[in-house]
Amino acid sequence: MQALVRFFWEMFLLRRRPQDLPASTPLTVLLLLVNLVVGTVGSGQMFESAATALSANVLDAALLAVLLGIALQLRGHLERWQQTYACFLGIGALVGLAMLLYRLPLNLLALDELVDTLNLILVIWAHVVLGHVLRHAIQVPLGLGVVVAFVYTLFSLRIVSYYFPIVTL
């Protein structure tokens, strides 16, 4: 487990590539479960219930799986799907966990503006990391990968909020 955390930390620092992660169904399932748990806890306050937050995160994970498959198929690299999907899930879990770790103590200290600033910085960097993953997976320039990751985030937010209205941001 320590090697997995180290891998995603190095990926977060742009030192690793998705092809460095083994293509493994059990690993992908583990990362999906961790991503869903962290995502549900982290987004729980945005939705009316934990069940709704979980459903929203499941929809996002399914949408990501399908759209990554389409993108990889269009670029002729469908064999990279599992590693790419696992990287997206792992980075999402890492970012979500980081947000959970600083949000509670800073909110207790009434430092909400600092939380918002840290969230913004982390989300921007996460998109750079996801762009880095896409750069290697579908062989595009980093800038285009970042744009694609950002557009996906907006698209996913729109779809998820259509089916599961967001109570608060």
Name the pTM for this structure. Answer: 0.94
> b or e along 81-91 (b: 16 or more beta carbons within 10 Å of the residue's beta carbon)?
bbbbbbbbbbb
Q: How far apart are CA 126 and CA 94, in angstroms?
A: 9
**In the chain, which ranges are continuous DSSP H helix?**
2-12, 25-43, 50-74, 81-108, 112-138, 142-163
Give domain limits for the chain.
Answer: 25-163
> The tokens of 76 are what?
């002729």
Q: Please, where are the H alpha helices in 13-80?
A: 25-43, 50-74
Taking only the tens place, the pLDDT of each residue in 108-137 is 899 999 999 999 999 999 999 999 999 999
The predicted-structure confidence for 19-61, as pLDDT tens digits, reads as follows 999 999 999 999 999 999 999 999 988 999 999 999 999 999 9
pLDDT higher than 70, residue 169: no
How far apart CA 55 and CA 72 sit, in angstroms, is 26
